[in-house]
Chain A
Amino acid sequence: MGYYMKRIMMVMAMAAIPALAPTIARAAAGDLLVAPTRLIMAPNSGGEVVVNNTGDRATTYRISLVLRKMTAQGTIESVDEATASQRDAAALDLITYAPRKITLAPQQSQTVRIGVRVPPTMPGGEYRAHLLFRAVPDVADAAAPQPATDGMSISLTPIYGVTIPVIVRVGEPKGSASLSNARLSVQEGQAQLDVDLMRAGDRSVYGTLDLMQADGKTPIATIKGVAAYPEVAQRHIMLPIDRTALARATGPLKVRFVETDPASGGAVSEAPVARP
């Protein structure tokens, strides 16, 4: 392969990263902006994540690679590296990143380089870890405990962070999504749709969920950025619904999941929804 071709391919790989997830994450405690919010990487590729201090004080951010798992309820939980299975922890050895600590002046940004190196013997499939961006609290900034003259006082400093998934796919694992058990409920002035997102195959699925009239084009309610990771064969999704919008809808309803993962080809799955 010629130099130019290699160079072009590298540029393509870099360019593809922000295109996959055109959103950015932002958190306070030294306001933090992270873009993009999701990385899907091929073996032996590179990418980058931009970190920007959107706050008004110089802040140090620590970057780490952590394990998270999804539950059947769709929540994301921490996984202790020490107790994780070899398969679950494999991504930690595939993904490199630098730097791991950044100090940024207000409005300053820096790129964190992400690399993926997959040994040729690695079995095909999807491997995932999560990049955690966290502001290191300023010691002087921590809420000063009150002098305790009449007992004890307590000061708790919260540290907030943002995590984004880094997904490594080896050998184009297949996957598909479908919807099941969609049920609409209205109680105490609240309307909600509960539905199970079913996942098959070896890769995660990711997309947007809409509730709409069976013959309509405009969603009544929408959730974006919903995933089902490979560790769950199904996950629950609760979609809150504006009752006014629901009242305007006539006739039968359906729920639709449009995959936005680039590996999905924009696959759409639908299921009918019974009105209560």
Chain B
Amino acid sequence: MTKKSVQALGLTAMLFAGAALSIEPAHAASATGDATVKILSAITVTKSSDLDFGKIVPSAAAATVAIAEDNSRVCGSGLSCFGTTTAGAFAVTGTANETVSVAIDNPSITLTDGGSNSMAVALATTTSAMTLSGTGAGSFKVAGTLNVGANQVAGSYSGQYSVSVSYQ
């Protein structure tokens, strides 16, 4: 049995004893001065960069713009792409050596300009499971492929995607 579970069982016993005492306080004459503290470990996910496709000028033919996990861009034929591009990046900190799974919950999303115009985006990550380092750190990236329609109407398109970190 690990040390942690021994401590946990000890805490359960303490709580149980405490509950029994509170029900029958008259019998709680000799309370001992035990004190317990339970140190909980935590995991944090923070966004370190947005998935940014840069600026795009559409053409008469449909094409795609792909941003890889290394932030590089592949601009589809006919399109003009400029500006800086970045992959989505997330930092994870938590318990040393703990394993968690990473998933994009909606890998196919639609961006809209608030009106009737839309574009589809496919999202992917090469990190599906992650073991946090000895210092409890980890990270993962999100790549995306944007489908730009023929003569896609210019505008500001927005959408959301969901990433979840799962315990086993």
Contact = CB atoms under 8 A, between A and B. Distances in A.
Nearest to A70: B168
A247 interface: no
Contacts, number: 228
B63 interface: no
B167 A225 contact: yes
B72 interface: no
What is the size category of the interface that chain B forms with chain A? 35 or more
Interface in A119-162: 130, 132, 134, 137, 142-143, 145-148, 150-162
B77 to A, nearest CB: 16
A154 B158 contact: yes
Contacts of A159: 160-163
A152 B56 contact: yes
B167 A15 contact: no
Given A24-B41, A145-B158, A224-B97, A152 B164 contact: no
B159 A157 contact: yes
A156 B45 contact: no
Contacts of A223: 97-99, 131
Lowest 4 A-B CB distances belong to which pairs? A145-B156, A227-B168, A75-B128, A76-B101
Interface of B: 1-2, 4-5, 7-9, 11-12, 15-16, 19-20, 23-24, 38, 40-47, 50-53, 55-58, 80, 88, 90, 94-95, 97-101, 103, 105, 111, 119, 121, 128-129, 131, 134, 142, 144, 146, 148, 152-168
Interface of A: 4, 7-8, 11-12, 15-16, 18-20, 22-29, 31, 33, 35, 37-38, 68, 70, 73-78, 130, 132, 134, 137, 142-143, 145-148, 150-165, 206, 208, 221-227, 229, 238-240, 242, 258, 260, 266
